[in-house]
């Protein structure tokens, strides 16, 4: 395999990997149209960092990682430019479950719950296809993403993930050198761990 920047023609494959890696998750429930808008956004901003793992033989997308060096400004500009597209992409999910409207609103304005301190880069999403999970591909992707963030001059990185019933993922980030900076509870009652990785 090789690691390379994500291109626009990869976006549908990113959506495919995401939905297979995270069945039943909220973003997956919002549907492919929403996910295409979300992942395309990282390609239209200079602050976006989006990498894909590609099979050398067949060129198939095996996994990916995306994030931004400026989380607050990134999502604010994204919504200003494409708010109508995200709203349109959310209609199907809203019609199926009208009571999730507040959560969709929060998803549209999500900026990663940044920690206190220096303005770190946000690792927004990493996914590996079910067939490749457990082979170390996720660690390679995260390591490459962190190195690119370091090259861009940010003082560190952060991410959030579920604290409960998520032991494998939490062990994964700990092994990659990230530390739990804090834990908080979302309005939906999800307990989240916020990890940071600061550069010396």
> What is the domain range of residue 89?
2-145
Angle at 46 between CA 54 and CA 83, to 5 degrees: 95
Gyration radius from the chain CA atoms:
16
Q: What is the pTM of this model?
A: 0.84
* Domain harbouring 12, CATH code: 3.40.630.30
Phi, psi torsion values for 85, nearest 5 degrees: -70, -40
- Cβ atoms within 10 Å of 34's Cβ, excluding its own: 25
Domain annotation covers residue 152: no
- Has residue 131 been placed in a domain? yes
Residue 166 domain flag:
no
Classify residue 35: in a domain, yes or no: yes
Residue 25: inside a domain: yes
Report the DSSP beta bridge partners of residue 127.
Answer: 64
DSSP state of 114: P
Tens digit of each residue's pLDDT, the chain (200 residues): 899 999 999 999 999 999 999 987 767 767 888 888 889 989 988 999 999 999 877 788 999 999 999 987 776 777 676 655 666 566 665 556 666 666 666 665 555 568 888 999 999 999 999 888 888 999 999 999 999 999 999 999 999 999 999 999 999 999 999 999 999 998 878 899 999 999 97
- For residue 162, tell me if it sits in a domain: no
What span, in angstroms and rounded, lies between the C-alpha atoms of 69 and 42? 11
| Side-chain half-sphere exposure of 178, counting CA atoms within 13 A | 26
User: Structurally, how many domains does the chain consist of?
Assistant: 1
Rounded to an integer, what distance in angstroms lies between the CA atom of residue 36 and that of residue 166?
26
Q: Is residue 153 part of a domain?
A: no
- Report the alpha-carbon distance of residue 65 to residue 67 in Å, rounded: 7
Is there a domain that residue 179 lies in? no
């Amino acid at each position: 395999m090789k690691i390379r920047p994500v291109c626009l023609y990869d976006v549908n494959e990113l959506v495919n990997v995401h939905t297979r890696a995270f069945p039943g998750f909220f973003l997956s429930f919002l549907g492919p149209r929403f996910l295409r808008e979300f992942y395309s956004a990282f390609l239209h901003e200079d602050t976006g960092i989006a990498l894909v793992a590609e099979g050398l033989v067949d060129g198939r997308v095996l996994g990916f990682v995306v994030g931004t060096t400026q989380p607050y400004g990134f999502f604010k500009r994204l919504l200003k430019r494409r708010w109508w597209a995200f709203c349109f992409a959310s209609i199907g999910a809203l019609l199926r479950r009208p009571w999730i409207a507040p959560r969709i609103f929060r998803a549209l304005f999500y900026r990663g719950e940044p920690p206190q301190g220096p303005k770190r880069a946000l690792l927004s999403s990493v996914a590996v296809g079910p067939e490749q999970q457990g082979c170390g591909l996720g660690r390679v992707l995260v390591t490459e993403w962190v190195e690119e963030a370091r090259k861009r001059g940010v003082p560190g990185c952060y991410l959030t993930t579920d604290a409960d019933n998520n032991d494998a993922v939490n062990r994964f980030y700990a092994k990659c050198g990230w530390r739990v900076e804090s834990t908080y509870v979302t309005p939906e009652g999800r307990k989240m761990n916020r990890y940071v990785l600061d550069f010396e």
